[in-house]
Structures are given as structure tokens and as C-alpha cells.
């Protein structure tokens, strides 16, 4: 994969496509508030003061289990930032680093450096505040203390070194860039990378209250095509379903609705006939399956 192919999205916001992105992720309000405050502060302080005064690298880390909405939240952040900036515009650049880390022997370091210190700054050379979304950053900033376990520890060291050098370069030379990195496995991240994060914000799996909000939101959205689902979105039976799904990632909670629809021919033909009982059965199976996985893991340990 070439460096240019690593950029999967480059768009100036606000954009109608991202209008509902921020609100689509249901987390505790303080998580979003903290993320937005840090993003605004970083861009403001780094524009006015040198790195030596702020010690801000312009790096925000979102971490938590897969499926909790970290990537979507980062996209929504860019849209949310736009009206708060001087020109009321923000650029969003999304990167997929996986191809770089599967490069030919010895090429990872060179490609990472080229991407972060040359290619990305060139895409944002108009000075617009820019959110650089670096998804699943553990593929790039591997903990060097664990490199002996990998097939090619020398390449791991060099690639991680390149990431750290690039972050230092962004901190001092490109204050309009804000890197938002996501990680499912912070234990795999290099300690020096973690120390460069201005803030690390956990995005946890939904609790029962959040699961209920997600289910209701999905049903309300679907009611545009199937009006009967609007009543189901307010059904008191959803509370029990949400309790069963607590701790499940948000993506799977959303899929619970369509999985329940697929369970009966009647609801396949008319999704508006879905009931809280249908959802409960799917949630109970999911809970049972999760318990079996956990039990099997404990037995293996």
C-alpha cells in the first residue's frame, strides 16, 4: 500500500453527511464534553503559544472495547468543532495505517514518517484546523518492550520510533493538526506514545441505561419506515432487554433489533410487528453466549 492510499477520507466540515454523527454515539455526556473541551483547548493553545510553553502534542487518545463508537465519535468531533473555529470550518483526514505496517521489510519506518510528517501536513497546508483520525493506532505504535515477541522486532522498533518522531514534529511545526487516535488494546501501545497523549479518554461498553437509549434510538429511527416501532421504542419491556445487554458493545446492541426481526417470518415481512419479547429472546441468547465464552476462558486459564 502506498502512502496516499492510507488516506481513506479527506473532507472539509461542516458537511450534512456528518450532521448526526456526534449524537449517534450514546455515551455518558461527560465523555463527549471532555473530548470537545480538550480538542478546542489544544487547537487554541497551540496556535497561540510554542510547544515549550504548552507541552501539548495535539494528541487525543480514545480507548475502550471494540464497537463502542470511538471512530464515529472522532468523526463527530470534527463536525462539532467546525462552528467553534475562527473560520467555522474543520478538515477531517482519516488514516488506515494497517497497510503501512505490512510493507516490505524495512519499509514501515520510511512510510510512517512520510505519511505523518509530509503527506498529511501537505493535505492540510491551508492552515484549517484539522482532525487527523488515526484508527487502531496499536498497529503503528507497538510497545517496544514487547517487540521480542514479534516476528521482526527491529521493524517494530523503527516504525514506533517514526510515529513518536512524527508526533513531536506535529507538536512543534503543525499546531493546526489534532491527532485523534483510537485503540482497542492500550496494553499494546508503547509507553512513550501514551506519554505524548494530552488526554486519554475511555469510551466504555454501554451500561443498562445507555443500552436502553441505544435500543430506543434505533427503533425511533426505523419508525420512519415502520411507524409501529415508535410505540415499541417507548415500551417498558425494553428496560429488561437493556439490562440483559448491559456490557455488550454498542454495535451489537444495535444489531439486536435486526436480529430479532430476522427471527420470525412475520417480522421479516413486516418489521413493525416486532415486540419487546422478540428482543428479549435475542438478548437472552446473547447473554448466554457471552457467559459461555467467559466460562470457557476461565476454564482454559
Pair 193, 225 in one domain: no
Task: Assess whether 90 and 22 both reside in one domain.
Answer: yes
Instruction: List phi, psi (to 5°) of 103.
Output: -70, 170
Q: Mark which of 170, 185, 202 sits at the end of a domain.
A: 202
Q: Examine the domain organization and report whether 114 and 170 are in the same domain.
A: yes
Of 137, 168, 202, which closes a domain? 202
- State the pLDDT at residue 301: 40
The domain total for the chain is: 2
Q: Are residues 73 and 116 in the same domain?
A: yes
Residue 25 domain-assigned? yes
Domain that holds residue 238: 208-288
User: What confidence tens digit (pLDDT) does each residue in 174-221 have?
Assistant: 999 999 999 999 888 999 999 999 999 999 999 999 999 999 999 999
Residue 120 pLDDT = 97
- The CATH number linked to 43 is 3.40.50.300
CA-wise closest residue to 62 among 80, 52, 75: 75
| pLDDT tens per residue across span 36-51 | 999 999 999 999 999 9
**Residue given cell 503543525 in the structure block:** 174
Read off the pLDDT of residues 103-119 as tens digits, 9 standing for 90 and up. 555 678 888 999 999 99
pLDDT > 80? residue 290: no
* pLDDT computed for residue 22 by the predictor: 97
Residues with Cβ < 8 Å from 246, sequence gap 6 or more?
206, 207, 208, 211
Q: What is the pLDDT of residues 134-188, one digit of tens each?
A: 999 988 888 777 655 445 566 777 889 999 999 999 999 999 999 999 999 988 8
pTM of the full predicted structure?
0.90
Residues in CB range of 256: below 8 A, 6 or more apart: 215, 241, 245, 279, 282, 283, 286
pLDDT recorded at residue 152: 56
Co-location of 112 and 185 in the same domain: yes
Question: What whole-number percentage of the chain has pLDDT above 90?
Answer: 79
* Phi, psi of 199, deg, nearest 5: -155, 140
* Mean pLDDT within 232-246: 97
Average pLDDT, the chain: 91
Domain boundary among 173, 202, 231: 202
Query: What pLDDT score does 288 carry?
Result: 81
Task: Report pLDDT for 299.
Answer: 44
The mean pLDDT of 269-296, rounded to a whole number, is 84
Amino acid at each position: 500500500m502506498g502512502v496516499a492510499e492510507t488516506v481513506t477520507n479527506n473532507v472539509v466540515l461542516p458537511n450534512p453527511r456528518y450532521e448526526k454523527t456526534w449524537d449517534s454515539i450514546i455515551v455518558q455526556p461527560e465523555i463527549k464534553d471532555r473530548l470537545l473541551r480538550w480538542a478546542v483547548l489544544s487547537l487554541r493553545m497551540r496556535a497561540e503559544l510554542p510547544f515549550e510553553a504548552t507541552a501539548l502534542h495535539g494528541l487525543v487518545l480514545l480507548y475502550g472495547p471494540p464497537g463502542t463508537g470511538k471512530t464515529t465519535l472522532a468523526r463527530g468531533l470534527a463536525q462539532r468543532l467546525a462552528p467553534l473555529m475562527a473560520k467555522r470550518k474543520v478538515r477531517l483526514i482519516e488514516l488506515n495505517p494497517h497497510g503501512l505496517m505490512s510493507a516490505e521489510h524495512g519499509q514501515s519506518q520510511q512510510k510512517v514518517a512520510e505519511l505523518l510528517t509530509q503527506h498529511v501536513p501537505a493535505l492540510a497546508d491551508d492552515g484549517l484546523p484539522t482532525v487527523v483520525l488515526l484508527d487502531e493506532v496499536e498497529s503503528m505504535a507497538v510497545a517496544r518492550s514487547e517487540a521480542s515477541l514479534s516476528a521482526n522486532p527491529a521493524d517494530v522498533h523503527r516504525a514506533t520510533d517514526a510515529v513518536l518522531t512524527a508526533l513531536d514534529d506535529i507538536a512543534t511545526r503543525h499546531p493546526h493538526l489534532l491527532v485523534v487516535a483510537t485503540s482497542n488494546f492500550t496494553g499494546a501501545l508503547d509507553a512513550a506514545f501514551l506519554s505524548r497523549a494530552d488526554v486519554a479518554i475511555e469510551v466504555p461498553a454501554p451500561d443498562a441505561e445507555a443500552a436502553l437509549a441505544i435500543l430506543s434510538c434505533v427503533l425511533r429511527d426505523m419508525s420512519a419506515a415502520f411507524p409501529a416501532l415508535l410505540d415499541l421504542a417507548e415500551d417498558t419491556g425494553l428496560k429488561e432487554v437493556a439490562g440483559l445487554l448491559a456490557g455488550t458493545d454498542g454495535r451489537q446492541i444495535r444489531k439486536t433489533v435486526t436480529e430479532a426481526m430476522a427471527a420470525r417470518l412475520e417480522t421479516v415481512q413486516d418489521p413493525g410487528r416486532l415486540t419487546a419479547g422478540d428482543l428479549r429472546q435475542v438478548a437472552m441468547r446473547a447473554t448466554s453466549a457471552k457467559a459461555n465464552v467467559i466460562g470457557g476462558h476461565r476454564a482454559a486459564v
